Every structure is written in C-alpha cells, then in structure tokens.
Structure 1
C-alpha cells in the first residue's frame, strides 16, 4: 500500500539522498526542482507555517526510493530502488525509465527531457522489442512540438494493446479520447447463417460466411483485442482489427485525432476490408 503522508522536503532530502532537490515556494504554485529541472508532481506541495510539505510517495519517486505504508503496524518504509532507463528518443534528448515489475512490465514510469521530469501513468511491457515510441510533433496546431509517447501494454497471438500519452514542451498533459470507446460508438455488427453484416456510422459492409477461413460463426464480429496507435506526420491515428474468431480478422477500423477544446478528439472511423474477403 502506498504511503499517503506528507514529509518536510528539506529535511528528507538531506537524510535520504544526495540528489539536489530545491523547493521554490514563490511564485505560486510551489515548484519542486530536481538537479535544476522542474519535477511536475501529481499533488502540489503546500506550505504549512514555515515548512514546505510534499507527498511522501512523491518524494520517494524524486530520490529513487520505494515508499510503502503498513497500516497494521502504522509504519512507513523507505527502501532503495533505482529506476532503469529503457527507452529514448532518436536524438537521445527524451528518456523513459521505470521499475521492473513482477509481472514482466516496467512500472512507475518517469519521463525525462532537457527541461523537466515527471511521473507518467501506465506501464510498458519489459520486452524491448516493444519499447515505447517517443516522438516530437505538433498535434495541437500551435506551432510547438508536443511529446508523443505510445506505450505497449500487451501483446500475443491475436492480441496487441497500446496506450498514447501526449505532453506539451512545458510538461502539461494533453488528454486523448479513448479510441476503443470512440470505435464502439460508430461500429455495430450481426451474423446470420449466410453472411456477416457490419455497420460503421451508417455505411454497411456484407461478407459471405463462405469466405471465412474459420467457417460459420455464432457470434457477431467484435473489436478491441488488437488496438494500436501510430503517428503520421502531425496526426495521431488509432487502428483496431475486426475479429470473427480468436485467430481470424477480416479488416481494420481506423480513425484520426484532431485537437479541439483542449482535447485530442477521435474522428470518424473508416473500415478497410482485407482483400481476401472482398468480392
């Protein structure tokens, strides 16, 4: 269980780490600087009387410590734990590091650039053949290059899952609409003895059952077991495979994102039928 307490930053820094940490109380909000680089915290530091307080778990991440809390003994434990860098951008100016988890993933991820470090949500599989994609491109149209990270969260036979994260050059997170939810709003399907019918926002596609390698199917085609994100120029795209059985896919649904009202919004889905299932 993670500790939810707070700790006096200056005293803890001296006691636990040689890392240079400075807490800047002014201007508001309070900033935490690590080795001269701003560290963006999930919970902002607060000033109580003459002391600056930061969450204990945040402090553990700052100094590379594992912080746990035992509610039965009412004890906070701070143990050594060094994060491992496992991905970097082509120009080596952006790096992702993490802790090796017990389930074959990199957890507790940290994004480090030339100007900031921050915790990022999610995890990535430990297989370096599926290392995160890290790119700089302008997704918001403001002329500034955003940092785009695509994590691989699962893979296997008939399965692939990824998760996009986008940040401005000043470390602000840009929300990305969930692609799976967007696809479900636009996709429906049904099956009969003779054919499969797909409806993508009103556009109908019919596939004869005779063309399926797996033969007649009992359930309508579904989506979601294969979901991946790609970058094409200044556009983020999501693609999911349409599946009729655990091992058979008949086509792809794809959509592009546009930035509007502070959010990368999913656009209209387009369906591409694999050639072997066409007329």
Structure 2
C-alpha cells in the first residue's frame, strides 16, 4: 500500500510539471498575438509601423521601417477600417516621412486623400511624388507638372565679360538675372527646371511648385502649377512664374 501511494505521488508531481510547462508555453504564445497599436502585419507577414496619419487618424500609412537602406519600399494605406497596399516608396529619414492632406478637390462633397512622398533630397534637390485617392482607393491620374512647365517656358543663357546672364519667360512675364562668374563654382548651360518639386493644397486645389535654377546654389524663379480635376485625372491649368529674391 505504501509503495502504491509513493508511485501515485511521483506520477502526480510529473503531471503537475508537464501542466505547468504547457501553461507557460501557451502564455508565451498568446502574449505575441496582439501587436502594438502602431504596428500591424501586412499580407506578406512583414511588420509594418505607422509612418504618417491624418489628425483624426482616419488616414494612416504603414511601412516596414526595419529595412536597411535609404528607401521604404511598399506603403499600406488605411482609410477608416479598410486598407490597400501600394508599391510606393519614400526615404527612410523620418524627417521626410509622407504628408497627408484631406480636401474636396473635385468639389463633390467627398474629401480626397492627398499623399505627398519624398523620393530624394539634398542640397538643391527635393524629389517629391504626389498621389490622390478617393475613399474607395481609386487613384487619380496626375499630369506631370515638370513636363508642362518645361514645355511652357522659354529660357536663354549667355556668358560675356565675366558675366552670366539668364532669362526665363512665361507668356508676358520675363525674369532676367545677371551674375559674376566668381559668384558660383559651377553654372548651368541653361535654366534647369524641376530639381525641387513640392506640393500643397490651397483653396481646394492641388498645387505643384517647380524650381528654376542656374547653379546648384542659385534659383532665379519658381513656377506654381495649379491642378484641376477632370474626371479621373488631375491636369495642370494655370501657371504662375514667380521671381526668387
């Protein structure tokens, strides 16, 4: 009888140890099932974090920020409870993370979502890219502002007696700038258009601001291009040539 009690006690201890180990393993698994509020798993299983959101958090952008290198590749857009993945890119520097603007660009009482990405930056360089989504994730086609500006301007450059002379004209507006050769270490053969492109929304219109420069450090003007919605497209309408001081 004593031997049976001893064996029974040993068996109960073993069962207790196995049960405890099982419970610990289960607890460990369950603790990893809920990601932090600012993270989620996308369809490919990669961990994504919030890189931008609208003030009301209706619009959120997610990307895998654990990647090495200079670019975030692939961005998930969340609108309310729905989300869609896009093959967009943005630099990894969080000082240049995407900008989100909501406004009624086509004046149909529903706000579009404007997402401004940064593809590159540096001295005299800002490569921005804009996307506009409707609330069903339909993306509007956007005309290239730089191409429109280049084809709409007339420019000239000349060099004489240690002077550099540049002229830029749009319709009846002409800007002329003259510099000394020694003012810059490098001068462009002609006015360069579009090394810096930025976007903003103003008065329910998307605007692109395109730079015009004559050297890496000298900008003579910027051209403001105003977009209008035509069906499923955003097309450039008015241009404004503004002299830089």
TM-score under structure 1 length normalisation? 0.66
Q: 1:193 corresponds to which residue?
A: 159
How far did residue 240 of structure 1 move? 1.5
Q: 2:82 corresponds to which residue?
A: 116
Q: 1:88 corresponds to which residue?
A: 53
SS in 2 for 1:205: strand
Counterparts in 2 of 1:82 and 1:213: CA distance versus 1, 3 Å: same
- Equivalent pairs counted in the alignment come to 203
Counterparts in 2 of 1:138 and 1:214: CA distance versus 1, 3 Å: same
How far did residue 145 of structure 1 move? 0.7
1:206-245 equivalence runs, <5 A = 206-210=176-180, 213-214=183-184, 217=187, 219-245=189-215
C-alpha contact 2:206 2:226 (8 A) present in aligned 1: yes
1:42-121 equivalence runs, <5 A = 64=42, 66=44, 80-100=45-65, 101-121=67-87
How far did residue 83 of structure 1 move? 1.6
Question: Where in structure 1 are there 5+ consecutive unaligned residues?
Answer: 1-17, 20-61, 67-79
Question: Where in structure 2 are there 5+ consecutive unaligned residues?
Answer: 1-32, 35-39
Q: Which moved more, 1:189-198 or 1:246-255?
A: 189-198
How far apart are the structure 2 equivalents of 1:196 and 1:171? Answer: 44
Counterparts in 2 of 1:192 and 1:81: CA distance versus 1, 3 Å: same
How far apart are the structure 1 equivalents of 2:185 and 2:74? Answer: 45
- Aligned-residue RMSD, C-alpha: 2.5
Query: After TM superposition, which residue ranges in structure 1, 4 or more long, deviate above 6 angstroms?
Result: none
Counterparts in 2 of 1:212 and 1:224: CA distance versus 1, 3 Å: farther
Structure richer in helix, relative to its length: 2
SS in 2 for 1:180: helix
How far apart are the structure 2 equivalents of 1:215 and 1:262? Answer: 46
How far did residue 212 of structure 1 move? 8.8
Give the number of the structure whose alpha-carbon radius of gyration is greater: 2
